[in-house]
Amino acid sequence: MADAPSSPVARERFDALAGLAASPTNRDSLPVHAPYDDSVVGDVPLSTPDDVRTAVEDARAAADEWASWPVEDRVAVIRRFHDALLDRRESILDIIQSETGKARVDALEEVLDAATAARYYGNHAEQVLTPTRRGGAIPLLTKTVEHHHPVGVVGIISPWNYPLSLSLSEAIPALLAGNSVVIKPDEGTPFTPLWGLELLRECGLPEGVLQVATGKGPTLGEPLIEAVDHVSFTGSTEVGRIVAEAAGRHLTECSLELGGKNALLVLDDADVEKAARGAVKGCFANAGQLCISIERIYVHESVADDFRDAFLRETRALALDAGYDYDHDVGSLLDGELLAKVEAHVEDAVEQGATVLTGGRARPDLGPYFYEPTVLTDVTPEMTLADEETFGPVVSLYEVESVSEAIERTNDSAYGLNASVWTENKDRGEQVATRLEAGTVNVNDAYIAAWGSFDAPMGGMKDSGIGRRHGRRGMRKYTESQTVATQRVVSFSPPKRGKRLWAEAATVGARLWKRVSELGP
When the pLDDT of each residue in the chain is averaged and rounded to a whole number, the result is 95
Q: What's residue 510's pLDDT? A: 81
Same domain, 231 and 166: yes
Task: Reduce the DSSP state of residue 40 to 3 states and report it.
Answer: strand
- Does one domain contain both 279 and 162? no
Which among 421, 455, 489 is the end of a domain? 455
Q: Is the predicted pLDDT of residue 426 greater than 70, yes or no?
A: yes
504 is catalytic: no
What pLDDT score does 1 carry? 59
Higher per-residue pLDDT: 513 or 398: 398
225 and 285 in one domain? no
CA distances 35 to 99, 163, 327, Å, are: 7, 14, 18
Read off the pLDDT of residues 440-490 as tens digits, 9 standing for 90 and up: 999 999 999 999 999 999 999 999 999 999 999 999 999 999 999 998 866
Residues 297 and 163 in one domain: no
Helix (H, G, I), strand (E, B) or coil at 374: strand
Q: Output the domain CATH number for residue 376.
A: 3.40.309.10
Distance of CA 238 to the CA centre of its chain: 16
* Residue 511 domain flag: no
State whether 180 and 278 are in the same domain: no
What global pTM score does this model have?
A: 0.96
Give CA–CA dist 14/315, Å, rounded: 35
Q: Does some domain include residue 313?
A: yes
Distances, alpha carbon 278 to alpha carbons 80, 297, 315, 458, in Å: 34, 12, 11, 20
CA dist 495 and 482 (Å) reads 29
Q: pLDDT tens across 162-204, in order?
A: 999 999 999 999 999 999 999 999 999 999 999 999 999 999 9
The answer to the question of residue 73 being in a domain is yes
Would you say residue 498 lies in a domain?
A: no
Kindly tell me if the per-residue pLDDT of 272 is higher than 80: yes
The answer to whether residues 139 and 268 belong to one domain is no
Please work out, in degrees rounded to the nearest 5, the angle formed at the alpha carbon of residue 251 by the alpha carbons of 249 and 254.
100
Residues 221, 288 within the same domain: no
Residue 460 lies in a domain: no
Confidence of residue 2 (pLDDT cuts 50, 70, 90): low
Task: Say if residue 429 is exposed, middle or buried (CB neighbours under 10 Å; 0-12, 13-18, 19+).
Answer: buried
Which of 422, 455, 488 is where one domain is finished?
455
Q: Indicate the SS3 state at residue 443.
A: strand
DSSP string, 202-253: HTTPPTTSEEE--S-HHHHHHHHHHHSSEEEEES-HHHHHHHHHHHHHTT-E
Query: Residue 492 pLDDT more than 90?
Result: no
CA distance 77 to 357: 51
Tell me: do 287 and 329 sit in the same domain.
yes
For residue 46, give the CATH number of its domain. 3.40.605.10
Q: Are residues 109 and 247 in the same domain?
A: yes
* 8 Å CB contact between 430 and 419: no
Report the pLDDT value the prediction gives residue 4, as an integer from 0 to 100: 80
Domain hosting 175: range is 11-258+471-479
For position 308, what pLDDT does the model report? Answer: 98
Contact 181, 154 (CB under 8 A): yes
Length in residues, the chain: 521
Assigned domain for 207 exists: yes
pLDDT tier for residue 237 given thresholds of 50, 70 and 90: very high
Over residues 60-77, mean pLDDT: 97
User: In this model, does residue 265 exceed pLDDT 70?
Assistant: yes
Say whether both 272 and 368 belong to one domain: yes
Residue 217 covered by a domain: yes
Whole-number Å distance between alpha carbons of 109 and 92: 12
Has residue 170 been placed in a domain? yes
Are 98 and 58 a contacting pair, CB within 8 Å? no
Please tell me whether residues 248 and 392 are part of one structural domain: no
Report pLDDT digits (tens) over 16-67: 999 999 987 778 999 999 999 999 999 999 999 999 999 999 999 999 999 9
Domains contained in the chain, number: 2
Cβ-Cβ contacts under 8 Å for 66 (sequence gap 6 or more): 74, 175, 178, 179, 180, 206, 209
Per residue in 316-327, pLDDT (tens digit) is: 999 999 999 999
Give per-residue pLDDT as tens, 214-228: 999 999 999 999 999
Q: Are residues 234 and 349 in the same domain?
A: no
| Beta pairing class for 415-416 and 461-462 | antiparallel
Q: Of the ranges 74-78, 220-224, 414-418, 485-489, which one carries the lowest mean pLDDT score? A: 485-489
Of 257, 314, 372, 399, the active-site residue reads 257
Find the mean pLDDT for residues 391-403: 98
- How would residue 124 be classed by pLDDT, with cut points 50, 70 and 90? very high
